[in-house]
Structure 1
Amino acid sequence: MLPALTPRQDDSASVSGFEALRRCVGDIPRFIGDHWGQTPLHRAGVDGAGFGDLLTIADIDALISSGGLRLPRFRLLQDGKPIDPADYTKGAALTSSTRQVDDQADPGRIYSFFDAGATIVLHALQEYWPPLARFCRQLECALTHPVQANAYITPRFAEGLSRHADTHDVIILQVHGRKQWHVHEPGAGGDEPGALLFEGELAPGDMLYIPRTFPHSARTESSSSAHITVGILAYQWRLVLKSVIDKIVYSLEESLPMGFADDPAALSALVAERLGDIKSKVDTIDPAALATATAQHFWSNRRPLLTGQLQHLLDLDQIVEQSTLRRRPGSVCKLRVESDRLFVLLGDRELDMPARLEPALRRIVAGKPFMVQDLADQLDEQGRLVLARRLAREGLLELVTP
């Protein structure tokens, strides 16, 4: 475990990320020490509005009734089993195109199945629902692990998924209605769960954290339910180290000697020799370089959140000395100086700039609103206007309108 998990006070994304995490788990150090990857955590009444800023029944209804959803963005479950998608999708022609699709949501059929006891699942909402996109990005900035969000809408007296264990940690946020949950320890073997760790009902505004591999089940009784499942797709040591170990192992392409199976003793000496070769190569791996590459992989795979970007592009020529700008909430920005160059990582791309711009970028990354003319102590008028407009064009900055 890392020795500390503290937001950088000069990085607004880090600070807001820890606020989002604290909203879910409360005392963050206690959560890390007592629960993260170890045991479930239930918190009642976390949000008095039932996480209405993230998702509501009206929002869900709008997403479904529009008919714009396509597989695999959604699915239906009943009694623990998936319903054949052909039963609730339809074919449609794409506008101004002869291309046909056959995986578009059929709202009427979806609602009929729901009325008959089916659970509606909306997948990867962070990809197309802005409130959850921002919330998941905030959590990612705190956890530095990828995060996804699904929604489960279950009618009364029904079960969506049967008892199962996820391959990643999850945070359950109850949005509407009530649902009964059972969480067990992982069993010693087979499909049988271990001891019951949590049994209770989640009400709107409640949170339940479940570590990976912990079997759990949920069902409704006299109330319908809607909840958000935030999945934490944590990086694992085996994958980080496998990437470098595989390169070493794959280099051993020499065939075993003829007759190796008839002389295990001789083969044993050769195995020991090869293991020694592997160990010597492992010893040459630079831990700092591997750590840097792992961190770079995470930050370089964060999709920019560009809601409102079209209007910002149309307003670029309105950015003048007196304009107020701010870092876009949820934006990724990591700075790296090499010699006389400054590399600005913005999630899915990297900008190459002169190193002399670092002080101005550090100020911008801090996240506080600023006027373009506030950079006068670091850049001349033309330089600060060019920088401000460039970063607005790239989606890092947004214009603050009075």
Structure 2
Amino acid sequence: MSRDNALARLVGDEQTFVRDDFGRRPRHLVAADRDGFADLLSLDDVDHIIAATALRAPAFRLVRKGETLPTSRVTRSARVGSRPIDDLVDVAAVHREFAGGATIVLQGLHRSWSPVAALCRSLEASLTHRVQANAYLTPPVAQGLNLHGDPHDVFAVQTHGVKRWVVEPTGETRWELELRPGDVLYLPAGTRHAAQTIDQPSLHLTIGVRATTWREVVERAVTQGLASVARLDGLDEPLPARWAQDPGALATRLQRHLDAVASVLQDDGLAEGAADEVADRFWSTRPPDRSGGLRDLLEIDHLDDTTPLRVRPDASCRVRADGEQVTLVLGDRRLTMPARLEPAVRRILDLAVFAPAELDELMDVSSRLVLCRRLVREGLLTIDRRPASERG
């Protein structure tokens, strides 16, 4: 199975999962390959992160028997340049608490650990919901958190050791199961669960899916509707004097305003506009992986018609044409260009891996090099340094 497709890697059959399981029911997916997630985060990786990366709170915490230990017990003071800090990991203290039965929690790995970040970006692009990742390293015969439900969906991905889980699916008999390396447990939001180790340590990733809800989209539509209703007569007038003495009369007048709002909310264009705005907000707040970006900048002046380029994996780019302009909605910005560049931009996105010369029938040499260099600077493209045999 391709490691580029995170959802398929986690659940196997994507279509069945999305149709039958996502947000609806738990799934326990037993691994066919016990090394299936060894590349994401190993015991040695956690050891390295704790001991050698100058970790700072709140990027880590320790939990014992359901309680988070005070940060002061596992941090120390230091200086970074001339600035004093007091939240630097105390490696010896973390080791001591872990030996005493505490679970080490690494938080925000979707930002700080490259293999996990790549998985999360791919999963986010597949589900179009926000994704985050923490890791839990638990010593033998220990429990981290007590029975609880999370406010978001969770994929628990076992990468080392064994952990025993208790799951309480809504309306079903309690599950008792073990996760072994390569296994995945999917839990919809609110599903109560707890986990503990037995006679060996356990390391697992918790990938949280912070889903956009219908409430958020409806609120966006109502907000847009109210903005247009502001033009209606009387809505911005103050309430009459002594209005609180006669709520019944107030309710009568309020109902007229609510009826006006309701009529505006029936406009089909309002739903379309709100949906577009929410979608744009999702796609335009996904910063790309800029690995290799410094080398790109150093080499960009030498970019020519034969330089191999590629669209960054899981990069966001929506193309919106508007009269004489075209806007590229990228993961962290918007680019506005002349409309004549739209065919070339769409060709680049379709090709994904290409050399500028492949835009020959759309643009002259000078123009296509200017465009490609601009898109490299903006982080949509990167110079493809892979061997030719791996470019596909």
TM-score (normalizing by structure 1): 0.88
Matched residue of 2:140: which SS?
coil
Equivalenced residues, count: 378
Q: Is the 8 A contact 1:17 1:138 kept in 2?
A: no
Name the residue aligned to 1:79: 65
- Counterpart for residue 196 of structure 1: 173
2:40 counterpart of 1:37? no
Q: Residues 83, 373 of structure 1: CA spacing in aligned structure 2 closer, same or farther, 3 A cutoff?
A: same
Distance 2:93 2:195 in 1: 24
**1:272 maps to which of 248, 251, 255:** 255
Q: Higher mean Cα deviation, 244-253 or 144-153?
A: 244-253
What one-letter code is carried by the residue in structure 2 that aligns with 1:200? L
Matches within 5 A, 1:15-164: 19-45=5-31, 47-95=33-81, 97=82, 99-164=83-148
CA distance in 2, matches of 1:367, 1:133: 24
Deviation readout 1:46-69 (Å, 9 max, x if unpaired): 543141221111111111101511
Structure 2 counterpart of 1:240, which letter?
Answer: V
1:226 corresponds in structure 2 to 203
Deviations along 1:206-242, whole A, 9 cap, x unmatched? 0010000111111111111001111101001112222
Q: Cα 1:273–1:82, aligned 2, differ >3 Å: closer, same or farther?
A: same
Whether the 8 Å contact between 1:17 and 1:137 is mirrored in structure 2 is: no
1:366-385 equivalent positions in 2, closer than 5 A: 366-385=350-369
Contact 2:105-2:134 at 8 Å conserved across structures? yes
| In structure 2, C-alpha distance between the alignment counterparts of 1:393 and 1:272, rounded to whole Å | 54
Q: Which amino acid aligns with 1:381?
A: V
Equivalent-residue separation in structure 2 for 1:392 and 1:264 (angstroms): 62
| Aligned-residue RMSD, C-alpha | 2.3
The 5 A counterparts of 1:299-314 are 299-314=283-298
**Preserved contact between residue 221 and residue 270 of structure 2 (Cα < 8 Å):** no
Q: Name the stretch that deviates more: 277-286 or 65-74.
A: 277-286
Q: Provide the residue aligned with 1:9 in structure 2.
A: none
Query: Could you tell me whether the CA contact under 8 Å between 2:3 and 2:9 is conserved in 1?
Result: no
Instruction: Determine the C-alpha separation between the residues in 2 that align with 1:351 and 1:255.
Output: 43
Q: Quick check: 385-394 or 219-228, which moved more?
A: 385-394
SS in 2 for 1:54: coil
Task: Judge conservation of contact 1:92–1:104 (CA < 8 Å) in 2.
Answer: yes
2:197 aligned partner, one-letter code: T
- The equivalent residue for 1:242 is 219
Aligned twin of 1:5: none
* Cα distance in 1, alignment partners of residues 26 and 317 from structure 2: 33
More relative contact order in 1 or in 2 (CA 8 Å, sep 6+)? 1
CA–CA separation in structure 2 for the residues paired with 1:326 and 1:158: 47
Deviations 1:165-197 (A, max 9, x none): 1111011110100101111135xxxxxxx6434
Higher mean C-alpha displacement, 366-375 vs 76-85: 366-375
Structure 1 residue 277: Cα displacement: 3.0
TM-superposition CA deviations, 1:264-304 (whole Å, max 9, x none): 65455334334323312323461111111010010111112
